[in-house]
Chain A
């Protein structure tokens, strides 16, 4: 009231960003692909938060979804297959001022990158991770992925797959130090937007599993999932993810779930009957490795020299 407020910052924004400030090129994904929806919602989020494109990084691995950084007018890193997490962790470790997003797919994250995935969860660095899971390898023209359902017929399993798929939510919840685990689907743009927003606002490793359709290689499955409103059960809680005004009418089934309850979250994740949408688990108190790593940032050259010399001196005879 009288100038003693503490909620003001001295940084005045120098530019008002619009969606076109974040978009670049024409996405080459097939028409009908869910990646379009994720891209659109991410750009919307950046606009709402007015993030500086020069302070935002999108890191991806290999796959259809991993083309994502090309369509964002921000910094990006289209990396090695399965190595999106190590790159993103490295960026965040030395540049904690950047907003780091990780875009990964079911093959990139759950197959070749599974080792990196597990440790990234445990490091709990402040990353927003979007796992775009279409349950198939689309870029290489239809092979079974680790998340493909039992019986999926593809080029690699012409008789139908015989091994049960990895449940990404269940896996993440099983790793030590998980701090934000949520699930949404590409055909619910309002819910997806709220979920990505909640993930971005969470300080820590926000893992968002986006169930997605592949209109080319999994057409019938996608159509069925997107149109059957009964199949989805929405997690409801005051600390959870709001449905959004436009979307609340199409929510049919809801269940109350407290996102701080880990064991209940695991039970829900293991339920093979229903697909749960919303925030499974959130722990705001989980320790973050990036905070530890950033403690010596901002050293001047002289200071660095001093520290290095002190280290060298340990070996002086």
Chain B
């Protein structure tokens, strides 16, 4: 066949294929047909079998790999699209969005309903409180992902959403989405009813983005302030009225009040009985005893000061925002914090400005609280100028009680973490060391070349600036390092820090929602210990370790979080791989670091490739000739090992060292604890060994002693026996036998007695027995249901049960019991005593009851 002919042949085939297709599926055009074709999904990552490679080629590759490890930098951009093996096959963006719409509780939170959390947490929490028999079989639980996905779709249109109506509509939509049939529908409506009863009453759902953090913050501030302010306002009101009463009484005491007209005004209700003109003449002209002018003046000032509260109460907080964030269009500060005063500051001025403002504002609040205290003293008439004048002269915010301080507005400094670290560090240290209750929020975002931070990349790889840990030197403050990924934890942190007298600093890794896969990058930063969360609460008192908390990290007891991943190995068998997620895995997610990795397929693997975590555990001698790797997979789920170059190993080591520092502080794998445990173990062992030795010696002595004694006895007995031996009667009797026999004889009658008694206890009862079926053992054979479909029915699992005893006769019950192939029908006793042939039927029924 010539080339031309061949071409025409393939052309012919193509036409033919289309014709056949048109005949078979006229409704499908070519493109549709392709889409409709079956695609086999490979969900599990697999190691492809190694290819045959010559030794030379193998050695060449290894030389290249070694050189890469030493010198780093793989300049060529990889053709393969790789990702760390840990990532699920799912489209990550979609997946993360599934996990994180955030729920904010706007009512007073109880212990049952968390204050704030991811929507999934809230749904699971509500389900667990619903008293549903098997939560895992409930439709809401099975389809929780779909619920979250639907909420996410709604969030795209408008945010925030009110929790209750949203959830109700989504649950109703689920019913149509899943095309529930009547038999499931009943239980589902029941489920919805229980769920809506138990779910939080008030709340909103907000999307997971970069302002979510501030929404949580605002909500927490309001939740702290509102109840405190209400309480305070009540107290002030009471005091105001009482003080006004004092002044009124004082007014009455003035001589002018003794005029007949004034008396008439006061006592008009007894007009007809009194003659006011005459009464005036009876009252002494000097009037009653009055207060000193000092006191009246003081009380009047107090009253005025108390009246200022309305003005003060209008402010919830004072926010000092770095100009970097203030002018950023993504944040609309006035909508985010509607009841707060927002000021902008430039680099280096923030701390001064906030301190100045704090002193000024607190002066006003000090005046209010001073007035309240004086009012209290005045009401009890226990104000003593000699003592109190001096005290109230210097009254300032340091004299506030914790309750008082909590009702004051909050002072927040919101700034970029790096900027605080560089230009504002001195002043920040001063501010924190002076213990002003100012809360600092240092924000950080992950950087990459796409968001315009190219020059920072190198520095960022080698270490993260550790603002929060540096502040540990300010011993008694509150420090919290966390992310928006665990909103519940964050809200808890805000509450803890805001309710404390001390300053607080929050170092928060915020998400940057303009980045691709922003939530994934954030979680990888935490998993890879690049930005470990911790809490240090300086107010918690002396046991130093109790101040630290590492809860907000995955697997805090391990060096790296370890995940189990199911893979198919090169022999085509399933295998579970436990792979740690290290900083290097995290770094690989950032495209900018691609040149620190060199992927190698299974043809070149040997025992000299060891995992990076293993590599870091060993010393340099053990690592001779070894290369560190991390697990990777490409888009087709093929697994690679990727060599990590020296520079990246150092960066990973740095993260591990920092993580170990945090662990040691919080008492996890603490050197001193481990050493102490070892010491105690040693001591215990020594004590036990000594005791065992002593016991052994004692035992030996004892054995020897008994042996000697017994030997003496035996020899003695033997001698006496031999001496006394009567050779005429050689029958030897054993003493033991004689002793044992009586015991057996004693026991036997007792056992017999019990056995005999047993049957007597069981009496055949004459009580009415209800008819029933051992439903779980039913084989659904249709025998009984065929006999009487009203008496016997199938349940939703198609297993028979006695539906209505009155719907049939006892005769039918007995007959059904007789025909039931598995004998699980128990006819019981008849309910109708007039039925025919009852005695005979009862006899037949007996063996089934």
Chain A partners chain B: yes
Is A16 a contact partner of B139 (Cβ separation < 8 A)?
yes
Contact between chains at B823 and A247 (CB < 8 Å) = no
Q: Are A19 and B796 in contact (CB under 8 A)?
A: yes
Q: A5 CB to closest chain B CB, in angstroms?
A: 6
Query: Cα distance A4–B561 when bound, in Å?
Result: 11
Interface membership of A54, Cβ < 8 A: no
Name which residue of chain A comes closest to B181, CB basis.
A18
Tell me if A258 counts as interface (CB < 8 A to partner B): no
Q: Which residues of the partner chain A approach B183 to less than 8 Å between Cβ atoms?
A: 18-20
Q: Is B566 interfacial (CB 8 A cutoff)?
A: yes
Q: Which residues of B contact A298 (CB under 8 A)?
A: 37-40
Contact B520 A222 (CB under 8 A): no
Residue of B with least CB distance to A225 = B821
Q: Which of chain B's residues have a CB closer than 8 A to the CB of A223?
A: 821
Pairwise interchain contact A97-B821, C-beta atoms closer than 8 A = no
CA gap between A21 and B180 in the complex, in Å = 10
| Complex: A41 Cα to B799 Cα, angstroms | 10
Decide: A189 and B778 in contact? CB cutoff 8 A: yes
Give the Cβ gap from B527 to chain A, nearest Cβ, in Å. 5
Nearest residue (CB) in A for B572 is A291
Output the nearest chain A residue to B525 by Cβ-Cβ distance: A2
Residues of B within 8 A of A14 (CB): 177-178
- Tell me the bound Cα distance from A282 to B33 in angstroms: 40
The smallest C-beta distance from B37 to any residue of chain A, in angstroms, reads: 7
| A118 CB, nearest partner CB in chain B, Å | 25
Contact of B779 among A16, A186, A250 (CB under 8 A): A186
- Inter-subunit contact A247/B780 (CB<8 Å): no
Q: Is A164 an interface residue (CB 8 A)?
A: no
A250, B822: Cα distance in complex, Å: 12
Q: Is the CB of A4 within 8 A of B563?
A: yes
Q: Is the interface of A mostly helix, strand, loop or mixed?
A: loop
The segment from B6-14, B324-332, B603-611 that touches chain A is B6-14
Q: Quick check: which of A60-68, A76-84, A121-129, A300-308 contacts chain B, the rest being far away?
A: A300-308
Query: Do the beta carbons of B95 and A226 come within 8 Å of each other?
Result: no
User: Which B787-834 residues have a C-beta within 8 angstroms of A?
Assistant: 796-799, 819, 821-823
Per-residue 0/1 for A37-52: is the Cβ within 8 Å of any B Cβ (1 yes, 0 no)? 1011001100000000
Query: Is A162 located at the chain interface by the 8 A CB criterion?
Result: no
**Docked complex Cα distance between A312 and B86 (Å):** 45
In-complex Cβ contact of A2 among B38, B88, B523, B573 (8 A): B523
B-chain residues with CB within 8 Å of residue A273 when the two chains form the complex: none
Please report which residues of chain A, range 279-304, place their CB below 8 angstroms from some CB of chain B when the two chains form the complex: 285, 291, 294, 297-298, 300-301, 304
Docked CA distance A19–B797 (Å): 7
Q: Which residues from A are CB-within-8-Å of B456?
A: none
Q: Identify which of residues 1-49 in chain A touch chain B, using a CB-to-CB cut-off of 8 Å.
A: 1-10, 12-16, 18-21, 27, 29, 31-34, 36-37, 39-40, 43-44
Whether A294 touches B40, Cβ cut-off 8 Å, given contacts A190-B777, A246-B777, is yes
B359 within 8 A of A: no
A313 interface neighbour in B6, B523, B777, B786, Cβ under 8 Å: B6
The residue on A at minimum CB distance from B39 is A298
Determine if B10 and A2 form an interchain contact, defined as CB atoms under 8 angstroms apart. Answer: no
**Given A8-B88, A317-B1, A37:B177 Cβ within 8 A:** no
Kindly list chain A residues whose C-beta atoms are within 8 Å of the C-beta of B91. Answer: 10
* Distance of A222 Cα from B779 Cα, bound (Å): 14
The answer to whether A3 and B523 touch across the interface, beta carbons within 8 angstroms, is: yes
User: Closest B-chain residue to A34, C-beta based?
Assistant: B779
Chain A neighbourhood of B777, CB < 8 A: 188-190, 246-247, 250
Question: Is B290 on the interface with A (CB-CB < 8 A)?
Answer: no
What residues of chain A lie closer than 8 Å to B90, measured between beta carbons?
8-10
A96 within 8 A of B: yes
Chain A residue, CB-CB nearest to B149: A12
Cβ of A213 within 8 Å of any chain B Cβ, yes or no, is yes
Contact between B88 and A37 (Cβ–Cβ < 8 Å)? no
Q: Which of B30, B43, B781 contacts A9 (CB 8 A)?
A: B43
Cβ A16 vs Cβ B798 within 8 A: no
Check if A37 sits within 8 Å of B37, measured CB to CB: no
Instruction: Please tell me if the beta carbons of B99 and A3 are within 8 angstroms of each other in the complex.
Output: yes
Residue of chain A at shortest CB distance from B819: A32
A182-195 vs B, CB cutoff 8 Å, 1 = contact: the mask equals: 00001111100000
A223 to B40, CA, bound (A): 48
Chain B window 80-107, contacts with chain A (Cβ cutoff 8 Å), 1 for yes, 0 for no? 0000001111111011100100000000
Given A3-B99, A18-B180, A223-B821, 19 other A-B residues pairs in contact with their CB atoms under 8 A: A3-B96, A3-B519, A3-B520, A4-B87, A6-B563, A7-B88, A20-B182, A31-B783, A36-B779, A95-B38, A97-B40, A187-B822, A226-B823, A246-B776, A285-B573, A298-B37, A305-B10, A309-B9, A313-B6
Q: Which residues of B contact A (CB under 8 A)?
A: 1, 6, 9-10, 13-14, 17, 21, 30, 33-34, 37-40, 43, 86-92, 94-96, 99, 139, 142-143, 145-146, 149, 177-184, 485, 519-520, 523-524, 526-527, 554-555, 561, 563, 565-566, 572-573, 581, 776-783, 786, 796-799, 819, 821-823
* CB-defined A-B contacts under 8 Å, sample of 30: A3-B95, A4-B563, A4-B581, A5-B88, A10-B94, A12-B145, A12-B146, A14-B177, A16-B139, A16-B180, A18-B180, A19-B797, A36-B780, A37-B779, A40-B779, A40-B798, A40-B799, A97-B40, A187-B822, A189-B779, A189-B780, A189-B799, A213-B821, A222-B821, A226-B822, A227-B822, A246-B776, A294-B40, A308-B13, A309-B9
